[in-house]
Amino acid sequence: MTVAAKETRGFATEAKQLLHLMIHSLYSNKEIFMRELVSNASDAADKLRFEALENASLYEDDPNLRIRVSFNKDANTITIDDNGIGMSREEVIENLGTIAKSGTAQFMAKLSGDQKKDAQLIGQFGVGFYSAFIVADKVEVFTRRAGAAKDQAVHWTSTGEAEYTIEAAEKAARGTQVVLHLKKGEEDFADGWRLRSIIKKYSDHISLPIVMEKQHFGDEAEKKEPEDETINKATALWTRSRSDITDEEYKEFYKHISHDFADPLSWSHNRVEGKLDYTCLLYLPGRAPFDLYNREGARGLKLYVQRTFIMDQAEQFLPMYLRFIKGVVDSNDLSLNVSREILQKDPSVDNMKSALTKRVLDMLTKLAGDQEQYANFWKEFGQVLKEGPAEDYANKEKIAKLLRFSTTHTNSPEQDQSLDQYIERMKEGQEKIYYVVAENFNTAKNSPHLEVFRKKGIEVLLLTDRVDDWLMGHLMEYKEKSFQDVSKGALDLGAIETEEEKQSQKETEKQFESMVGRMKNALTEQVEDVRITHRLTDSPACLVVGEHDMGAQMRRLLESAGQKVPDAKPIIEINPEHPLVVKLDQEQDEDRFNDLAKVLFDQASLAEGGHLKDPAAYVQRLNKLLLELFN
């Protein structure tokens, strides 16, 4: 066969910046490099187990998977060696030659210059391997993929600068060996006691043995033959009793499976027996990954069947709106030869999905009892949870209970008010939960649609997230209280309005019948209808849409995305008590009346955050009216 020659390759520009950042101590705790490299070795063993389900020859007469850690004080090196799946030349270039291939540019864009804050981004972008350069000025990787010939191994070398080299090598055993040449000043890491303590601290939960040469001291050291000892418990953490697992172990296991740097917000560890037999360990992350809003991105739980790793991102066990959950599910009910296609058709999966979804919602309900912690969760994942009511009808009420909103009660952009709190504050006789949707918080809180609600002391939800209009289209009601968009349909305050108020409104509508007719003629191309309103107290006019029509915010979002939206004209409602409307009613010149009516329409559109179809015409009319005023 032809042996590939030694080749030097350059890192991309972003990769050079990232390596520079790593080398200059991005991690506040240097020990973390061992956790990252051991975690990668564990993943390699999991992948070998999975591929070996169909091809047992990949074990190459060495079925006992392990990770070996060794050191050489004289050479000042540390070696992490595994007998996992290994890598081919192409895989080495893909995985080691391209830093953070899932999002290097996004990673660099998020850097703030604050080392402590920036360190927390590491796990989000899959760059854990490069933490080796925190303590090493040179890293070598020797690897051979399981099933490949001994002379098809690969030798990768980098000093963490602009380039790396890759060449063919021979390797008798499958798997990957990472050799760290320690920097000057980092020699204390080449120490048996130090390495053992680091492994116990960060990797005790790894489910395969991490071995080191047993240390002997004094005269005993000269008599004893070298022998290995296992440093970690080497038992899958989720299989152990909850009472035997410390919080620190739970946190470290989360970092292992998620490659996250920060601690999780909470977790739930349960063994289920009965119709289904499985164990689950679910984690609620402390912060959102960079690709959270990419619904096509990698997501899901690690799936094991009878302790055998099956797949890394089993997305079938949780609905899309819970895609931020990390964890492990280990089932005794699924067959060992399970594949993605079989998994999708297995009825046990649907039952497990229902149970796991309920468990996550219970976790969130419990977390909601801690206002500060839940506020942190909501800031990171609130918009994703809002996708829930549309995707999970069975749990709609539970999800609605977890939602948080801005409201006119606090008049703050912080989304910290629940629907239960809103209902507790509802006015006597109020039958609906009122809300307004707008592009941003200031537009929402200053919406003219809120004027009558302020006057009567009725609280309104202020919805400003892109998903909100879609959410309310599916939520419909909560605890038998229906939702009402205050910018849709005719205003109905129910029992809050007195009979006297309703009678007065009818009389006003009769009084302004003539003016309404004139405005319909003036705005025939712009509006569906003109009517007298009683929802305004300070503004002269506002625009509303039909009760069953698409909201203005949703129309703008679809249009900005290039989607076709159905043709629909708004309804303009005018405030008969406003001086401008009174003056307009008295205007005898029809041309001037038409100009004033169109200015009123454009102002109403601007007030709700809309965009004028003909801004130049609006400016011309306004200038014309201003000139008349000053002449």
Same domain, 208 and 244: no
Same domain, 65 and 136: yes
Q: Match 């999800």 to its residue by tokens.
A: 399
Residue 384 belongs to some domain of the structure? no
pLDDT score of 214:
87
Same domain, 151 and 17: yes
Same domain, 413 and 541: no
Let me know: does 300 contact 325? Beta carbons within 8 Å: no
For residue 74, CA distances in Å to 31, 71, 193, 213, 466 come to 21, 9, 16, 16, 60
Provide the strand spans (E) within 163-274.
Answer: 163-169, 175-182, 210-213, 228-230, 266-272
Question: Domain boundary residue among 319, 352, 377?
Answer: 377
Residue 382 belongs to some domain of the structure? no
Sign of CA dihedral 273, 275, 278, 283: negative
Report if pTM > 0.85: no
Is residue 117 packed enough to be buried (19+ CB in 10 Å), middle (13-18) or exposed (0-12)? exposed
* CATH number of the domain within which 461 lies: 3.40.50.11260
Residue 149 belongs to some domain of the structure? yes
Q: Match 């739970």 to its residue by tokens.
A: 250
Nearest in space to 361 (alpha carbons), one of 326, 406, 396: 396
* Run of H or E including 463: strand 460-463
Same domain, 327 and 179: no
Q: What end-to-end distance do the CA atoms of the chain give, in Å?
A: 95
Residue 383 belongs to some domain of the structure? no
Q: In what order do the strands lie in the sheet with 541-544?
A: 529-532, 571-574, 541-544
Question: Domain boundary residue among 215, 235, 255?
Answer: 235
Same domain, 244 and 276: yes
Residue 509 sits at the vertex; the CA angle it makes with 505 and 515, to the nearest 5 degrees, is 150
Domains in the chain, number: 4
pLDDT averaged per 10 residues, the chain (length 631): 68 60 59 86 89 91 94 96 94 72 48 49 55 90 96 93 89 96 94 92 85 75 74 87 92 87 92 90 90 77 80 87 94 66 72 94 96 94 94 94 96 94 93 91 91 92 91 91 88 78 86 90 90 89 82 68 75 91 89 91 86 88 83 65
Same domain, 281 and 327: yes
Provide the strand spans (E) within 306-441.
Answer: 308-314, 326-331, 406-407, 432-437
* CATH number of the domain within which 80 lies: 3.30.565.10
Residue 180 belongs to some domain of the structure? yes
pLDDT score of 445:
92
Rounded to whole angstroms, how far apart are CA atoms 148 and 335?
29
Same domain, 440 and 417: yes
* CATH number of the domain within which 276 lies: 3.30.230.80
3-state secondary structure of 428: coil
* CATH number of the domain within which 585 lies: 1.20.120.790
Is residue 41 packed enough to be buried (19+ CB in 10 Å), middle (13-18) or exposed (0-12)? buried
Residue 385 belongs to some domain of the structure? no
Tokens of 563: 């989607």
Same domain, 254 and 334: yes
Domain that holds residue 339: 238-377
How many Cβ atoms are within 10 Å of 563's Cβ, its own excluded? 9
- Cα dihedral 508, 486, 455, 431 in deg (nearest 10): 100
The amino acid that residue 411 corresponds to is N
pLDDT score of 15:
57
pLDDT score of 356:
96
Same domain, 30 and 117: yes
Residue 365 belongs to some domain of the structure? yes
3-state secondary structure of 251: helix
pLDDT score of 631:
65
Q: What are phi and psi of 456, to 5 degrees?
A: -95, 0
Same domain, 79 and 152: yes
pLDDT score of 103:
42
Same domain, 95 and 106: yes
Nearest in space to 491 (alpha carbons), one of 605, 582, 571, 418: 571
pLDDT score of 94:
80
Let me know: does 467 contact 387? Beta carbons within 8 Å: yes
Nearest in space to 320 (alpha carbons), one of 467, 482, 127: 467
Question: Domain boundary residue among 235, 270, 303?
Answer: 235
Nearest in space to 550 (alpha carbons), one of 573, 527, 539, 566: 566
Rounded to whole angstroms, how far apart are CA atoms 43 and 207?
10
Residue 137 belongs to some domain of the structure? yes
